[in-house]
Chain A
Amino acid sequence: MDNLIGKISMINGPVILGEEMTGFKMREMVLVGEKKLIGEIISIDGEYGTVQVYEETEGLKRGEKIVSTGKPLSLKLGPGMLGNMFDGIQRPLKKIRDDFGSFIPEGIGLISIDEEKLWEVSINVKLGDYLKEGEIFGTVQETSLINHKLLVPVGLEGRVITVIKNGKYNIEEKLVELEDREGNKHSLKMYQEWPVRISRPTKERLPITKLLATGQRVLDIFFPIAKGGTAAIPGGFGTGKTMTQHQLAKWSDADIIIYIGCGERGNEMTEVLEDFPELIDPKTGKAIMERTVLIANTSNMPVAAREASIYTGITMAEYFRDMGYHVAIMADSTSRWAEALREISGRLEEMPAEEGYPAYLPSRLAQFYERAGYVKSLSGNEGSVTIIGAVSPAGGDFSEPVTENTKRFVNVFLGLDRELAYSRHYPAINWLNSYSGYMEMLKNYYEMELNEEVEGLRGKMLRLLFEESRLLEIVLLVGEDVLPDDQRLILEIARVIKIGFLQQNAFHKEDTYVPLRKQLEMLKTIDLLYERGLQSVKKNIPISKVRNGELYDEVIKMKYSIPNDNIEKIEELKNMINDFYNKLELDYSK
Chain B
Amino acid sequence: MKKEYLVLDKVEGALIELSKVHAVGYGEIVEVENNLGEKKLGRVIKIDGDKVVVQVFGSTLGHSVENTKVSFEGRPFEIPLSKDILGRTFNGIGIPIDNGGDIYADNFYNVNGRPINPVSREYPRDYIQTGISSIDGLITLIRGQKLPIFSGSGLPHNELAAQIVRQAKIKVKGQERNNFSIVFAAIGVKHDEAFFFKEAFKKAGVQNKVVMYINYADDPIMERIIAPRAALTAAEYLAFEENQHVLVIMTDITSYGEALREVSSLREEVPSRRGYPGYLYSDLASLYERAGMLKDREGSVTLIPILTMPNDDITHPIPDLTGYITEGQIVLSRELHQKNIYPPINVLPSLSRLMKDGIGEGYTRVDHPDVSNQLFSAYSKVQDIRALAQIVGEEDLSDKDKKYMEFGDAFEEKFVTQKYNENRDMENTLDLSWNILSLLPKEELDRLDPTLIEKYMK
Contacts and interface: CB of A to CB of B under 8 A. Distances in A.
Contact of B118 (A85, A343, A422, A423): A85
A475 B388 contact: yes
Contacts of A296: 118
B270 A349 contact: yes
Contacts of A10: 46-49
A353 B391 CA distance: 46
Interface in B28-55: 28, 46-50
Interface in A541-564: 549, 553, 556
A269 interface: yes
A477 B391 contact: yes
B438 interface: no
Contacts of B377: 423-424
Contact of A102 (B116, B282, B357): B116
A63 B22 contact: yes
B356 A103 contact: no
A267 B123 contact: yes
6 contacts: A12-B48, A56-B114, A58-B76, A102-B294, A238-B353, A273-B119
Interface stretch (B99-107, B283-291, B423-431): B283-291
A422 B388 contact: no
Interface of B: 22-28, 46-50, 76, 110, 112-124, 144, 240, 269-273, 277-279, 281-282, 285-286, 288-290, 292, 294-297, 315-317, 320-321, 323-325, 327-329, 348-349, 351, 353-354, 356-357, 369, 373, 376-377, 380-381, 384, 387-388, 391-392, 396-398, 443, 446-447
Smallest CB-CB A-B distances: 7 pairs: A299-B285, A395-B315, A356-B272, A237-B323, A300-B289, A58-B27, A423-B380
Q: A11, A59, A266, A349: which has the most chain B beta carbons within 10 Å?
A: A266
Contacts of A303: 279, 282
Interface string A550-590: 00010010000000000000000000000000000000000
A301 B115 contact: yes
B286 A102 contact: no
Interface string A479-499: 111000000000000000001
B391 A61 contact: no
A464 interface: no
Contact of A394 (B317, B381, B391, B443): B317
B315 A59 contact: no
B26 A424 contact: no
A222 B42 CA distance: 58
A102 B120 contact: yes
Interface stretch (A75-83, A89-97, A277-285): A89-97
Given A263-B285, A300-B115, A271 B123 contact: yes
A342 B272 contact: yes
Given A85-B119, A343-B278, A423-B381, 7 more contacts: A17-B48, A61-B24, A102-B120, A238-B323, A296-B118, A424-B377, A479-B398
Given A62-B50, A395-B315, A105 B119 contact: no
Contacts of B122: 270
- Taking chain A's interface residues, is the majority helix, strand, or loop, or is none over half, making it mixed? mixed
Interface string A43-63: 000000000000011111111
Contacts of B392: 478-479
A97 B117 contact: yes
A267 B292 contact: yes
A477 B384 CA distance: 11
A536 interface: no
Contact of B289 (A265, A339, A392, A481): A265
A236 B324 CA distance: 8
B321 to A, nearest CB: 8
Contacts of B296: 102
B26 A267 contact: no
Nearest to B348: A422
B120 A479 contact: no
Nearest to B120: A102
Contact of B117 (A102, A340, A418): A102
Nearest to B314: A395
A394 B273 contact: yes
Contacts of B278: 339, 342-343, 345-346, 356
B346 to A, nearest CB: 10
A201 interface: no
A478 B50 CA distance: 73
A111 B222 CA distance: 38
A103 B114 contact: yes
Q: B120, B373, B388, B446: which has the most chain A beta carbons within 10 Å?
A: B120
A420 to B, nearest CB: 10
A129 interface: no
A103 B113 contact: yes
Contacts of B285: 263, 298-300
Given A85-B119, A270-B122, A299-B325, A346 B269 contact: yes
A265 to B, nearest CB: 7
A263 B445 CA distance: 39
